[in-house]
A and B are shown apart, each in its own frame.
Chain A
Amino acid sequence: MKPDRNSTPSLLDVKGLTRRFGGLVAVNDVSFSVKPGEIFTVIGPNGAGKSTMFKLIGAFIRPTSGDVVFEGKSLVGLAPHQAAARGVVRTFQETTIYREMTTMETVRTAFHLQCRATSLGAFFNTRQARADEAEANRAAEEILELLQLQHVRHEQAKNLPHGYLRALGIAMALAARPKLLMLDEPFAGMNPEETDAAVQMVRRIRDQGITVMLVEHDMHAVMRISDRIAVLNFGRKIAEGTPQEIQNDQNVIDAYLGQEDEELGI
């Protein structure tokens, strides 16, 4: 599974990425590359700029300088939906859901990018539109099964038990058929068993050929799941490497890990 770093071209290249908010430099001259099929994690203390990094890659905000290159083409200047169409999709917090849609409706809405019929075609319910709908239904069932959401398929999102919302978020993202899936703190608030299940889940997603980027504070999970890790501190990248390398990096221990020995479990 481990990609050969020297021969494979990278899927994502972040080059000298910088984003200022007024006087604050939230992301400061950060560069790294993500290879296809990797699980690549960004860690760092609160306010280090991790979420901002995801927003920049997903084209939700524009960089002050630097470039985001995905499959050889820049994403800078695109609208978020165009970045999604290229295959870069991120998940949101649990509260960001379509409150009044059922699980099934949500996933079918998320299937938008796979619909081949035009808007006019959808309106006139052409053969292509009907085929889209059938395919959306089939794919939605598949995704619900993968995430074990089948039995809540007709439940409105706002009535879903808390534990299902994160799975729903991932279900939505998967329905958009991403090449690069960005998960922001997917294990937050989970107990160890739930985290184990979620780690397996993320692996299964990767095994489907989807490259995964994570932001996560649960070091134990991070060290188990990641192929490579980048560490941010005050917007700057202070280290990058395998979990092994990161755990032994003096910079990282000083800036971040040192304070969290217990969490690290080492």
Chain B
Amino acid sequence: MAPPLLEVRDLRVEFPTRRGVLTALDGVSFAIEAGEVLGVVGESGAGKSMTGAAIIGLIEPPGRIAGGQILLEGRRIDDLPYERLRRIRGREIGAIFQDPLTTLNPLYTVGEQLEETMLTHLPIGREEARRRAVGWLERVGIPAAAQRIGSYPHEFSGGMRQRVVIALALCAEPKLVIADEPTTALDVSIQAQIIALLKGLTRERGTAVMLITHDMGVIAETADRVAVMYAGRIAEIGPVREVVKHPRHPYTAGLMASIPPLDRRVERLAQIEGAMPRLSEIPPGCAFHPRCPQAFDRCRRERPGLLDAGGTRAACWLHLDRAGRHA
């Protein structure tokens, strides 16, 4: 059987600081198949961006991968020298970040940037690259693409710039796209256009997408599977419908319940008491136990791994029975 397009095994990322080593990611494991969208959700600081950064080899020193493996089509990429990883990053993994201005070069036209990217990574000539550049702008919904190809990034609105960034990430036809909060800064109207585009690509080209966002609505309509992160670990992972409609982990359940509904007014929203711990203060056992309404003795002592929770996998001792039966 072919290996998954992307596999992350037991990933650990550490930041040495003056006050000791902080563990930003701890035992993170998941896989993404070709043509699949994996949503990654969780509160800010949960480790979503860090996971994306580790995969594309962009963890900022002194942070470092301290354990585990990252495999692209079965080949390890976490231990590659910088130059080789850089090539893979352009050709096989495309990255979309939240702030389009950090990705776009203000000194070059949008067309030049698209053409350069394609010339670097694809076996095509200048003429073909120019033709495809217009095609990509059309595909991401830039009106009058042929005229706008000579525009500079600052001549576009925020939403259009973000679409250009997406075209840039996709034009070298990568197999995997890591999109970190690609629509968070956008209005829902533009957000919907971009989500539709990403979904279309997975369908048409078999591109795999890791979609990082804290917007459950975006996840619900885009992702095939979801990983919920908490304090540097995966709390729950499974098919999107299961995770959204029948969360098995108490944290996921709390998160889902706290989302205000659009179709009715409730007097008081369900809330999870307290806050996610800082990296320096992650409690022993289950990291969620101080906030968990169902915590019991074992939760405070022993850290749960991902257990079969019937439909999803959840890092929660409540599911030990079922996991035991299936083991």
Decide if A and B are genuine partners. Answer: no
Measured CB to CB, the residues of B under 8 A from A are none
